[in-house]
């Protein structure tokens, strides 16, 4: 069940476990019969977790973390951390804040396996719920029952434009049509400051937005900490400060491994300096 829930595929889970798909399906069905619960909804797009399945999956994750920690302690008498961490976030903060905040720790503890994954903001809560990551990074307060939240620091947004090129009036660059950064920024300003003839173009990710702004393809709303030593863009003055809390989120559980606790400690201690 754990492998199927992780991979969202009976065929890939069976291959990973070295058994036939039929045998795997029978094992999961037998578990459901014993529990008298439906854990997985069989869907052509892949198995989907029920509420009971999500509860059991979180139990499996805790058990797996405990097993990794015990085995790591048995294998080594040193204070080296072992195990794996999976952190999902939006591209700008993941690369500019989260990875640098953990870099020194990860260099010192090379036995820790890292899996950093970038997602669109609106996908991240499902990534956590579906156990595709142990931690997610958001730019808002999730404030959901059963999820622990730590504020890592404020991310400040500013309007930027190209230093070299004249910018088309009213054209702003965003990640995708679902990206609300520009609209949220101007909602925080006076109504008179909302751009006239407002139009958008889409650059794929935050670094595409930054490159597009440098090339004069439009103005953009950008995290101020990403502009360090960038001489190709300038901040447009006259706007009120707009800040959003960057948060670290994970499921509340009865046991947290030493590695889990250390990751939380490192991020809550180091992230704010990279956001300034």
**Per-residue pLDDT at 132:** 85
Confidence grade of residue 75 (pLDDT, cut at 50, 70, 90): low
Q: Which residues of the chain form beta strands (DSSP E)?
A: 40-41, 48-49, 83-89, 112-118, 135-138, 147-162, 171-174, 199-202, 219-223, 233-235, 242-251
The structure tokens 């499921």 sit at 251
User: Residue 154: pLDDT band by 50, 70, 90 thresholds?
Assistant: very high
Q: Are strands 147-162 and 242-251 parallel, antiparallel or unpaired?
A: antiparallel
Residue 74 has pLDDT above 80, yes or no: no
pLDDT at position 202 is 95
- CB distance 57 to 5 below 8 Å: yes
Band (76; pLDDT cuts 50, 70, 90):
low
- Please report the DSSP string for 16-75 in residue order: HHTS-HHHHHHHHHHHHHHHTS--EE--TT--EE-HHHHHHHHHHHHHHHHHHHHHHHHH
Share of the chain above pLDDT 70, in %: 97
Structure tokens at 160: 């930027």
Q: Which of 26-30, 73-77, 108-112 shows the lowest per-residue confidence on average (mean pLDDT)? A: 73-77
Backbone angles phi, psi at 251, to 5 degrees: -70, 140
For residue 78, name the pLDDT band (cuts at 50, 70, 90). Answer: low
Stated pTM of the model: 0.75
- 12-23 pLDDT, tens digit per residue, is 999 999 999 999
Work out the mean pLDDT of the chain and round it to a whole number. 90
Q: Distance (Å, rounded) from C-alpha 38 to C-alpha 50? A: 7
């Amino acid at each position: 069940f754990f492998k199927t829930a992780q991979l969202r595929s009976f065929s890939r889970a069976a291959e990973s476990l070295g058994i036939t798909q039929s045998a795997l399906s029978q094992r999961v069905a037998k578990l459901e019969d014993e529990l008298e619960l439906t854990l997985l909804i069989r869907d052509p797009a892949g198995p989907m977790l029920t509420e009971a399945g999500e509860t059991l999956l979180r139990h499996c994750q805790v058990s797996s973390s405990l097993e990794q920690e015990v085995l790591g302690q048995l294998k080594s008498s040193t204070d080296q951390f072992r195990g794996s961490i999976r952190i999902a976030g939006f591209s700008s903060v993941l690369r500019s804040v989260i990875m640098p905040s953990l870099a020194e720790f990860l260099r010192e503890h090379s036995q820790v396996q890292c899996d950093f994954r970038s997602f669109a903001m609106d996908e991240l809560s499902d990534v956590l719920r579906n156990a595709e990551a142990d931690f997610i990074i958001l730019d808002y307060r999730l404030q959901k029952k059963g999820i622990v939240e730590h504020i890592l620091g404020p991310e400040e947004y500013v309007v930027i434009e190209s230093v070299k090129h004249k910018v088309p009036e009213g054209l702003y660059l965003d990640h995708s049509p679902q990206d609300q950064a520009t609209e949220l920024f101007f909602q925080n300003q006076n109504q008179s400051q909302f751009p006239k003839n407002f139009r958008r173009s889409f650059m794929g990710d935050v670094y595409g937005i930054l490159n597009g702004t440098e090339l004069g393809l439009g103005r953009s709303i950008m995290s101020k900490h990403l502009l360090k030593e960038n001489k190709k863009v300038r901040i447009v003055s006259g706007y009120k400060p707009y800040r959003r809390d960057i948060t670290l989120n994970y499921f509340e559980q009865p046991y947290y491994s030493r590695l889990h606790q250390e990751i939380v400690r490192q991020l809550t201690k180091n992230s704010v300096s990279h956001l300034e």
